[in-house]
Structure 1
Amino acid sequence: MRVGKSQYLFSPRSAASRLGLAGASLLTLAVAAAAQDATPPRRGIASPPAEATVQLDEITVEGRGGGALPPSAAAAAVRTVESPTGPVNGFVATRSATATKTNTPLIETPQSISVVGREQIDAQKAQTLTQATQYVPGLYSGTFGADSRIDYFTLRGFVASDYGIYRDGLQLLNYGFAYFRVDTFGLERIEVLRGPAAVLFGAGNPGGLINQVTKRPTLDPLRYVEVGGGAFGQGGFGYAAFDLGGPADADGHWFYRLTGIGRTGGTQVEGAPEDRVYIAPAFTYKPDGATKLTVLSSYQHDNAAVTANFLPYSGTVRPNLSGLRIPRSLNVGDADLNTFRRDQAYVGYEFEHAFDETWTVRQNLRYSFVESFQNSYIGQIGYSDAAETRLARYQFRDSARANLFQVDNQAEARFSDGFFRHDLLLGLDYKNYQLHDNQASTFPGPSLSILFPVYGQRVAAPTPYLVNADSFEQLGLYAQDQIKITDRLTLLLGGRQDFADNRVRDLLTPGNSNGRSDNAFTYRTALIYNFDFGLAPYVTYATSFQPQIGTDVNGQSFRPETGDQIEGGVKFEPPGAGYFVTLAGFDLRRSNVLTANPANTLFQTQIGEVRSTGFEASLTATLAEGLNAVAAYTVFGLTTEKGTPEQLGRVPVNIPENLASLFVDYTIPFGDWKGFGFGGGVRYIGRSFADVANTVRVPDYVLFDAQVHYNYENWRIALNATNIADRRFVSSCQAINSCFYGDARRVVASLSYKW
């Protein structure tokens, strides 16, 4: 049974007149609100409030039923209806709150979105967000290769790691070197929205965003422990994890969850550790069926090293002049001088209250803190000898601290004006980001032989070249209406007004301190038509606005980026078939784009305008009992349409324009081999460019993954391998002297027990 179908009778008007009435019908909102009864909300009525955690709510599927369900039936429905913040049953998700901030079925969402659920993350044994999104269309993960500090992505050709990473619908800004990074064991699902989302989320680039949804308290008792370990390049590693949750009282008002993991071991770079501790307490309070408060918190400590080594093209992609390739395991830093440490903490809450069958209010609030320290030798300046056997290096040191406060207030009204059914969302959000960044360097540092590396060399203490205190504030007012023009045709209208303020205090040269204030209006409009047999064509147009933090090499503040996109596609989810297909074509423009300054790569510059046009296809399926599959294909073209003469008509560096992947996992459901499972995946990444003039290419590559596992009662044992052939490849080159080796073969053995 499909959800989301209208239960209202429509007058026999033409489609044109209905479209005309759609805008005017917003004026009836006050009348509709005043006409509502003051009686408590009934169960089993129209769709659950947006962002409702259905696993804890009593409300069931929308648009069906007219009264309270018997307790047993209500309990069964609660467990079968997917929550937009809860577990995905198998690989095929049906709902998401990321694209519209409402509890909308994916088949009724007029924008391209992919959901990676916990079961898929576990099947692939993804240890990082980069690994968990390698089978998603439109997204290239791991741009900077095996980087232990940060997850780095491009969406539809544009960087999404800075302003496009979210957790529970609130942004995680990654500016400078104050990186936020969330351990994937603490996530319930990962949602990748492609295309502009500024109308609901504010600051962001037009390529899209990645929303990480945290594990939440569960209705039923949960007890889970896991241990594992394996090998990755030069280092073995091990980990232990636990996940506990369920009711905390006999009356069913309090629920809790406690998730934690500890990792220790090495990486593919010799002498580079990667240790982590993550702990996440959460609880939910539900005094009645209309009110819910969920508190989410976590703390994470990382002790790692710099593994993205900034190596020259000659010696990685191609043999160098001596016929050598730089070892993938080479520590370009130093066993005693290659440090990356990070402490980060989050605390916040999600509050929701339904006043009646029409109005629901929500407030999502979080304070995020990160403090990091990095000190290492870096390549990035090529060789120091004519034979290309010694790497030139410099020392880079950075200490950064960021504080981020955010609050998102929402009011949602679901009502009919007599002609149309509405899901109206009104919002006011605010963010305050404070960054203290201290960057220092030593040029040049001691060179390093790639044949016989000698460590422990020192030249001079790093000299600060940037000591800034940056602040960024943004206030946004937004409105969105999902209007049922007919039982099948939905019109989505949304608009947002942003007010942003960016200030930079230069503590080294106070005279260079500056700032700017910006404001902009962004909007989105879309149409989607849902056929009863599961076909849903759609078209959408959206704009974006991204105020910039920081300054260029001359100390001047950056202008805001702007973007716009038109997207058309079709979704197909036949009722009961167990699979979901999405096809999408897009034309996307981004202006005032930031890129590395070719004259000084420590700073950025704004090159002008880049256009991305392309096509994406995806399939997520449960093809038979125990058989799950995901497949994706992406092809697009990037062109610099405004910039320097050298950039015009060229493709930006380090971005592949052709991606394809397939992953299959099968568990035998019956017979003597019941519980035994196996599968694997293949990933194709197309070529990219290593220079602005597009004369130097990074070749395409194919990687293979595989897994076997066995489930026996409450036990599960698994063996996963990624890049099983241990192919040495370069994931991308940012410049001719800044290339990055991708992940070596990673083998993970795990044993888990759930009761």
Structure 2
Amino acid sequence: MCRSALRPTPDLRSLVLAGASLFALAPLVPSAPAQAQEATAPRRGVGNPPAEASVQLETLTVEGRAGPASPVASGVGARAIESPTGPVDGYVATRSATATKTNTPLIETPQSISVVGREQIDAQKAQTLTQATQYVAGVYSGTFGADSRVDYFTIRGFVASDYGIYRDGLQLLNYGFGTFKAETFGLERIEILRGPAAVLFGAGSPGGIINQITKRPPLDPFGYVEVGGGSFDQKYAAFDVGGPADESGHWFYRLTGFGRSGGTQVDGAPEDRGYIAPAFTYKPDGATKLTVLTSYQYDNTAVTANFLPYSGTVRRNLSGLYIPRSLNLGDAGFNTFRRQQAFAGYEFEHAFDETWTIRQNLRYSFSESFQNSDIGQLGYSNAAETRLARYQFLTSSKIGLFQVDNQAEARFFDGIFKHDLLIGLDYKNFQLHDNQGTNFAAGYAVPDISIINPTYGPATGRPSPYLVNADSFTQLGLYFQDQIKLTDRLTLVLGGRQDFADNRVVDKLTAGAGSNGRSDSAFTYRTALIYNYDFGLAPYVSYSTSFQPLLGTDINNQAFKPETGDQIEGGVKFEPPGAGYFLTLAGFDIHRQNVQTPVPNTFFSSQIGQVRSTGFEAQFTATLAEGLNAVAAYTVYGLTTEKSADPTTLGKVPVNIPENFASLFLDYTIPAGEWRGFGFGGGVRYVGRSYADTANTLRVPEYVLFDAQVHYNWDRWRLAVNATNIADRRFVSSCQSSFSCFYGDARRVVASLAYKW
């Protein structure tokens, strides 16, 4: 039985004392359901409807969650109410539905969370999820460097790019070489929830999750087009149009598209993409809404995260040379990665009355990918360290992922306390067909390659499979959460979840191997307190547990045990009414059990035992003055291997992961005068050292990167030039071992021209 299943549940008497009775339901002050205000506050700026298009105003009260306004904003008067899935007005978000699955103000959420809105994504010209999260506390983006295939990141020191990526509240599983990758132009906001989220989602690492919110149909018509290009001969075009589809005001639509072609910092490696996303909303009345979200995406790229040795990347090799960042270890003819993915689903909501609202979120996700490439990861083949050994790797994967999340929310007053009660039942079914092969299995060798004068030729042969698996994973979860207003200022959050998971792997390569797997169940829970002062200060404390069933088998063909974890977090949030900024400070202590780690020189992982992460984060987001926006973040933590089958790793820091990083980003647009509309800004990113081996004898040094941008807005036009790593610093983002180090992004310059109507 997993550790989290043995933890005591909250005392029933405390629930009774808190007034969690469903027998005396009395509706609170009328309030909008969590999704009822979709597209009500479009941001001002290029690419969205005009600010006056559909802003709804509501007088703020002191009723807390009884109304959509936060109690700390009492006395401010009237202002736009932000939808938790709609646009962020500027950089400073005020609401989110990720941490609680309800429409809750961030200042009332007892957990550390950051929101990156569309305006910030555009200002930074973030073209990947990795780039969009580089100024977020707790998140180290780009763990494996300039990888054009998949977004990699850690949160609070733990890998979260496998089980921790979500889209519209539903998980996107990235297992093995079966992956999904989102087009950021199709996103309205990106929400980073730090700490365990298993009580509501049933999955995710204890470090946290990233939830990507798709653009939805707006209430008012608008249009937007953009063209651009820049480094590595990249060119792109995008469009975004939407609005009412009928005169009765019941149907709304949105169509978003993006296309790109060009290269990467690796010679001969393309980065081409096509993306199209139709969506529509049907609102027959004020209490019911159905939104259908679909998309299709095609990627054509290559392996750009070359697996290179420590000698020659972190430091000079024996010949006094560095391996060029532009070196292609494969060949343009067969260093290939292609993927097509499609999403189709809906979000349904109906409010029966002022108390009860039901929702159903459903999606089917499909991904099919193919890779054929030469890989390093074997070190040098000569004593002078001028030639790299290689092997050929081929994989084809096909994913089908069905998910449905059913929710019932009740907002009521039991005579003593106010409640926002959420009850849910969710289900996921993940099917993966996984085929992996190498030249080793086929019995032939791949020629080595010179780092000084590389020569290329056709593929030596066709890899033979060493693994042909059919993976099946299902999970059913029943959860509840109650946000209880003990006073007008003090909120208690209680939540619990029971999960049932089944993981099966069918070996289709080995005759008579049959299937292997396991079934697991666990109870997880969360309890938290937050107190909201009138002047915007909100201290909070929380304790939560996590449960993550793991897919697949280890090198011994044994099914993985589920990961479990627990965290205690304490912090303070500060959002003074009308000040235009939001500050979050958080301290945490996380224990994660059954942690996976790669087995050197294989494609398999093992479970090493327990890792602890203890640290501190600070996140500051602000509109400091008219036209001036700022984002600052700082993170420091200590990672320690506390239990392991390998005694040499005890007390050591896991590889790949820096434990200290900080960032600052500023953007200013002149609001008046002759230079009105002209803007400029930039950012600085610091990343501390990490380790390249489990014994912590090989260090990957710290680095500092600088970004900059200039832009000009006039009428409906916007011209911008963005540059990241403007000094073109050569740096290693991390090393997985002494044979597997990864170069980070080279300088990237993008010029863009946009028009809106």
Q: Shorter-normalised TM-score: what interval? A: over 0.9
Q: Is the 8 A contact 1:504 1:514 kept in 2?
A: yes
Do the aligned partners of residues 186 and 274 (structure 1) sit closer, same or farther apart at CA in structure 2, a change above 3 Å counting?
Answer: same
Q: Which residue of 2 aligns with 1:741?
A: 743
Residue segments in structure 1 that go unaligned for 5+ positions in a row = 1-18, 68-76
The residue type equivalent to 1:507 in the other structure is K
Q: Aligned partners of 1:415 and 1:20: how far apart in 2? A: 20
Secondary structure, counterpart of 1:119 in structure 2: helix
Asked if 1:319 corresponds to 2:321, the answer is no
Q: In structure 1, the residue corresponding to 2:87 is in which secondary structure?
A: coil
Deviation at 1:61? 6.2
Cα offsets for 1:626-678 (capped at 9, x unmatched): 00000000000000000111110000001000010000000000000000000
Task: State the distance in 1 between where 2:90 and 2:434 align.
Answer: 43
Within a 5 Å distance, the mapping from 1:590-629 to structure 2 comes to 590-598=592-600, 600-629=601-630
What does residue 46 of structure 1 align with? 30
Give the direction of change, closer, same or farther, for the CA distance of 1:159–1:658 in structure 2 (3 Å limit).
Answer: same
- After superposition, residues 182-193 of structure 1 pair within 5 angstroms as 182-193=182-193
Deviations 1:326-350 (A, max 9, x none): 0000001112120000000000000
Q: Shift in Å at residue 726 of structure 1?
A: 0.4
- Alpha-carbon deviations, 1:42-75, whole Å to 9, x = none? xxx53321233443698956757999xxxxxxxx
Letter in 2 for 1:46: P
Per the alignment, residue 131 of structure 2 pairs with 131
Give CA deviations for 1:410-448 in whole Å, capped at 9, x if unaligned: 000000001000000000000000000000001342100
TM-score, with length taken from structure 1 = 0.93
What is the CA distance between 1:601 and its match in structure 2?
Answer: 2.5
| Contact preservation (8 Å) 1:298, 1:345 | yes
2:611 is paired with a residue whose SS is strand
Q: Is the counterpart of residue 432 in structure 1 residue 454 in structure 2?
A: no
Match of 1:661 in 2: 663
Q: Distance in 2 between matches of 1:633 and 1:248?
A: 45
2:24 partner letter: V
In 2, distance between residues paired with 1:702 and 1:405?
42
The aligned counterpart of 2:255 is 258
Displacement of 1:597 in angstroms is 1.1
Q: Choose which of 546, 549, 564 in structure 1 pairs with 2:548.
A: 546
Contact residue 639 and residue 651 of structure 1 kept, 8 A = yes
* Secondary structure in structure 1 of the residue aligned to 2:602: strand
Q: Structure 1, residues 254-279: CA drift from partner, whole Å, max 9, x if none?
A: 11100000000000000000000000
1:29 matched to 2:22? The reply is yes
Deviation at 1:205, TM superposition (A): 1.2
Aligned to 1:452: 453
Alpha-carbon separation, structure 2, partners of 1:602 and 1:78: 57
Which residue among 582, 586, 589 is the counterpart of 1:587? 589
Partners of 2:154 and 2:260 lie apart in 1 by: 27
Deviation, structure 1 residue 512: 5.6
Within 2, Cα distance between the matches of 1:323 and 1:513?
51
State the partner residue of 1:70: none
Distance 1:445 1:26 in 2: 70
Q: The residue matched to 1:607 in structure 2 has which SS? A: strand
- Shift in Å at residue 109 of structure 1? 0.2
Q: Which amino acid aligns with 2:454?
A: P
CA distance in 1, matches of 2:548, 2:649: 22
Give the 3 Å change call, closer, same or farther, for CA 346–26 of structure 1 in structure 2: farther
Asked if the contact 2:584/2:618 (under 8 Å) is kept, the reply is: yes
User: Residue by residue, what CA displacement relative to the aligned partner does 1:74-130 show, whole Å, maximum 9, x if unpaired?
Assistant: xxx999210000000100000000000000000000000000000000000001010
Tell me if the contact between 1:48 and 1:60 (Cα under 8 Å) persists in the aligned partners: no
Aligned equivalents of 1:341 and 1:557: distance in 2?
A: 29
**Aligned position for 1:563:** 565
Given candidates 278, 283, 301, the residue that maps to 2:280 is 283
- What is aligned with 1:308? 305
Cα deviation code 1:693-725 (max 9, x no counterpart): 000000000000000000001000000000000
2:357 to 360, 366, 370: 360
Q: Note the C-alpha offset of 1:29.
A: 1.1
Higher mean C-alpha deviation, range 281-290 or range 506-515 = 506-515
Q: How does 1:410-421 map to 2 (within 5 A)?
A: 410-421=407-418
Structure 1 residue corresponding to 2:525, chosen from 523, 526, 544: 523
Query: Which letter does structure 2 place at the counterpart of 1:671?
Result: G
1:332-731 superposed matches below 5 A:
332-443=329-440, 444-456=445-457, 458-509=459-510, 510-511=512-513, 513-598=515-600, 600-643=601-644, 644-731=646-733
Structure 2 residue matching 1:23: 3-state secondary structure = helix
- State the 1:27 CA deviation: 5.1
SS in 2 for 1:407: strand
Gap change, CA 1:20 and 1:63, over 3 Å in 2: farther
**Distance of 2:696 and 2:234 partners within structure 1:** 39
Which letter maps to 2:161?
S
| Equivalent in the alignment of 2:181 | 181
| Number of matched pairs | 716
Is the 8 Å Cα contact of residues 409 and 422 (structure 2) preserved in structure 1?
A: yes
Aligned equivalents of 1:152, 1:296: Cα separation in 2: 25
Partner of 1:267: 264
Structure 1 residue 508, shift from structure 2 partner: 1.0
Give the letter for the 1:52 counterpart: A
> How many Å apart are 1:465 and its aligned residue?
0.5
Q: Kindly indicate whether the alpha-carbon contact (under 8 Å) linking 1:205 and 1:544 is maintained by their aligned counterparts in 2.
A: yes
Structure 1 counterpart of 2:22, which letter? L
Query: TM-score, length-normalised on structure 2?
Result: 0.93
Match of 1:152 in 2: 152
Query: 2: distance between equivalents of 1:178 and 1:734?
Result: 20
Q: Distance in 2 between matches of 1:429 and 1:255?
A: 28
